[in-house]
Amino acid sequence: MVPNQVPLSPLSFLDRAAEVFPTKIAAHRPAAEPVTYADLWDRALRLAAALTALGVGKGDRVAVLAPNDVELLEAHYGIPAAGAAIVALNVRLAPQEYEHILRHAGCRVLIVDRSLREQVEGVGDHVEELETIVEIGSGQGSAAETDYDDWLARTSPTRARLGLPDHEDDPIAVNYTSGTTGSPKGVVYTHRGAYLNAMGQALQFGLSPGSVYLWTLPMFHCNGWCYTWAVTAVGGTHVCARSFDASAALEDIERFGVTHLCGAPIVLSSLAEAGVDQAQPFTHEVRAATGGAPPSPAVLARMKTLGVEVVHLYGLTETYGPSLVCEVQPAWDALDDEQLAEKQSRQGVRTINVQDVRVVDGSLEDVPSDGEVVGEIVVRSNTVMAGYLDDPEATAAAFHGGWFRTGDLAVRHPDGYVEIRDRAKDIIISGGENVSSIEVENVIAEHPDVLEVAVVAASHAKWGEVPVAYVTLRGGSQLTEDEVIAHVRKRLAGFKTPKAVVFGDLPRTSTGKIRKNELRDLTTPLT
């Protein structure tokens, strides 16, 4: 190692925080004592040592199924410190989906919270690679193979620092997303990319040692948009919340002096609804970042009344989370609420850590910046994924001409701000979660009474979008809407289940392709 070149890794953030702020509260946790940065550092070191004792090392992957609590936070340091990559699992999936991910990632160890254990019950019998299951919160007398706290307590840290990877391009995490193909793909993050995106988010969002970050965004989602690392990088305080409850979140904001939070649009709308009776704004500044569908003028107005500044972001799992931000310009202060909401509804400009974002046509030529001509958003950055795990074909399709193709269609306005006009047509964004219409279609098509099926998005007052299925039945079938929904629910997570089913013939092009655009036009909003 040379003195002027050291691998970039978020592991260095926790080492520094424990050195500089050892007695400072690193994380408040529900129904338990808070942990200091010295505590968090020690627990991460113990986790690394415990995994190493199991033979886990470079090239391995360790899965964690847990809510937003300290155990999942420390896993973002302890697992990479052992040389492995963390696979933070979505807590809302179906058993078969967990089995697929664990098998595809080749996970040797699964750490699971007791509250979620039923969702992966018996998974060890179906995933040959899985050797060890560790249960968080099992306590004495549990049937769990290994209790997490006992496991850490029996382990002594074998080194003085979390350390650095052999190479900054080594994997630090694998995040699974359905994408547009209908089958989950493992998006590979590197130490370097995670470091740079975490630093970019800390700077972009104004994090500092005085920041208090409330976990309303799942840590499993793009590793919490890299805020699992960004908050620690500045020595800020994490406020863990095992589940999101708007009223409880409002109380936490006042109780802990929360300064920052992130979440899907439903988080903002829920906070706005819960805060209707709150006469006074918060006594301190609060910033909330949201991605996905733009916040409505009503929600923006209510959040402003609460004293919350809303920041609109855009990104994908493949870009480590946020890559565009709707930067507020000083001239916007003169706009009325409706005009301001129109400006803030745009996805914006590239974040500090992103090198280039363009809107291009099929020849990779820039579309005019006129707010009218639609093109595809493409990105080039140090914070673009390394690729899809063990899927070179999908990786090659996503990387084209030196750019990452997002599949999202947008316009660029004369001021340079990007605005999405149409998501990749097979993706439904429900409550901040991506739902592949192809994945849902494949499950419905497995029913013996189904001849054809197409799934599209319907706008929804609460969830933003929800799936709606259009189904052509085989002759003589009496299959009902409830039966179709029940069939899907057995195979997929609840948020992927259609909220309505329409029976009939499907419209087609002259070449026989289903006209999903016509189905979208026919689909009415749901509540």
Domain segments of the chain as ranges:
11-243, 429-522
Answer whether residue 510 shows pLDDT above 80. Answer: no
- Residue 105 · residue 127 · CB < 8 Å: no
Q: How far apart are the C-alpha atoms of 514 and 70, rounded to whole Å? A: 47
Tokens of 431: 């409550």
Task: For residues 10-17, give the mean pLDDT.
Answer: 98
- Residue 308 · residue 288 · CB < 8 Å: yes
State the pLDDT at residue 291. 85
Q: How far apart are the C-alpha atoms of 289 and 217, rounded to whole Å? A: 10
> What is the tens place of the pLDDT at every residue in 195-222?
999 999 999 999 999 999 999 999 999 9
Q: State CA 479 to chain mean position distance.
A: 36
Q: How far apart are the C-alpha atoms of 83 and 51, rounded to whole Å? A: 9
Q: Give the confidence band of 512 by pLDDT, cuts at 50, 70, 90.
A: low
Tokens of 411: 């316009």
Cβ-proximal residues to 66 (8 Å cutoff; 6+ apart), any chain: 72, 75, 91, 111, 112, 113, 116, 136
State the pLDDT at residue 180. 39
Q: Give the confidence band of 73 by pLDDT, cuts at 50, 70, 90.
A: very high
CA distances from 264 to 185, 290, 308 (A): 22, 5, 15
CATH architecture of 429-522: 2-Layer Sandwich (3.30)
Answer whether residue 436 shows pLDDT above 80. Answer: no
State the pLDDT at residue 513. 62
Residue 46 has φ and ψ, to the nearest 5°, of -65, -40
439's enclosing H/E stretch is helix 437-445
State the pLDDT at residue 298. 73
CA distances from 140 to 55, 64, 82, 121, 137 (A): 26, 21, 27, 19, 9
- Residue 337 · residue 297 · CB < 8 Å: yes
Share above pLDDT 90 across residues of the chain, in percent, rounded to a whole number: 70
The single-letter DSSP state of residue 330 is: G
Answer whether residue 315 shows pLDDT above 50. Answer: yes
* Lowest-pLDDT choice from 45-54, 252-261, 273-282, 391-400: 273-282
Tokens of 45: 């070191």
- Residue 162 · residue 44 · CB < 8 Å: yes
CA distances from 419 to 318, 346, 429, 479 (A): 19, 5, 16, 41
CA distances from 59 to 55, 56, 74, 172, 195 (A): 11, 9, 20, 10, 19
Half-sphere exposure of 60 (CA within 13 A, CB side): 23
Q: State CA 294 to chain mean position distance.
A: 17
State the pLDDT at residue 178. 57
| Strand partners of residue 179 | none
Task: For residues 460-482, give the mean pLDDT.
Answer: 91
Nearest of 85, 80, 82, 87 to residue 9 by alpha carbon: 80
Q: Give the confidence band of 35 by pLDDT, cuts at 50, 70, 90.
A: very high
* Lowest-pLDDT choice from 156-170, 278-292, 427-441: 427-441
Burial class of residue 418, CB neighbours in 10 A (0-12, 13-18, 19+): buried
Burial class of residue 478, CB neighbours in 10 A (0-12, 13-18, 19+): exposed
- Taking residue 524's Cβ as centre, other Cβ atoms within 10 Å add up to 8
State the pLDDT at residue 141. 45
Tell me the average pLDDT of the chain.
Answer: 91
Q: Give the confidence band of 257 by pLDDT, cuts at 50, 70, 90.
A: very high
Tokens of 494: 């609840």
- Residue 429 · residue 179 · CB < 8 Å: no
Cβ-proximal residues to 33 (8 Å cutoff; 6+ apart), any chain: none
Share above pLDDT 70 across residues of the chain, in percent, rounded to a whole number: 95
State the pLDDT at residue 442. 81
Q: How far apart are the C-alpha atoms of 422 and 27, rounded to whole Å? A: 39
Task: For residues 24-29, give the mean pLDDT.
Answer: 98
State the pLDDT at residue 146. 82
| Higher per-residue confidence, 292 vs 133 | 133
Cβ-proximal residues to 472 (8 Å cutoff; 6+ apart), any chain: 450, 451, 452, 453, 503, 504, 505, 506
| Strand partners of residue 433 | 430
Residue with tokens 């098998």: 103
Q: How far apart are the C-alpha atoms of 141 and 151, rounded to whole Å? A: 15
Report for 159-163, 352-356, 423-427, 450-454: range of highest mean pLDDT: 352-356
> What is the tens place of the pLDDT at every residue in 161-192?
998 999 999 999 999 985 434 567 999 999 99
State the pLDDT at residue 144. 54
Q: Say which CATH superfamily domain 11-243 falls into.
A: ANL, N-terminal domain (3.40.50.12780)
Task: For residues 226-250, give the mean pLDDT.
Answer: 97
Answer whether residue 470 shows pLDDT above 80. Answer: yes
Answer whether residue 511 shows pLDDT above 60. Answer: no
At residue 244's C-alpha, the angle toward residues 241 and 246, to 5°, is 115
Answer whether residue 125 shows pLDDT above 80. Answer: yes
Answer whether residue 85 shows pLDDT above 50. Answer: yes
pTM for this predicted structure: 0.86
Residue 179 has φ and ψ, to the nearest 5°, of 60, -150
Cβ-proximal residues to 153 (8 Å cutoff; 6+ apart), any chain: 46
State the pLDDT at residue 179. 44
At residue 188's C-alpha, the angle toward residues 67 and 97, to 5°, is 50
Nearest of 458, 457, 443 to residue 492 by alpha carbon: 443
Answer whether residue 312 shows pLDDT above 80. Answer: yes
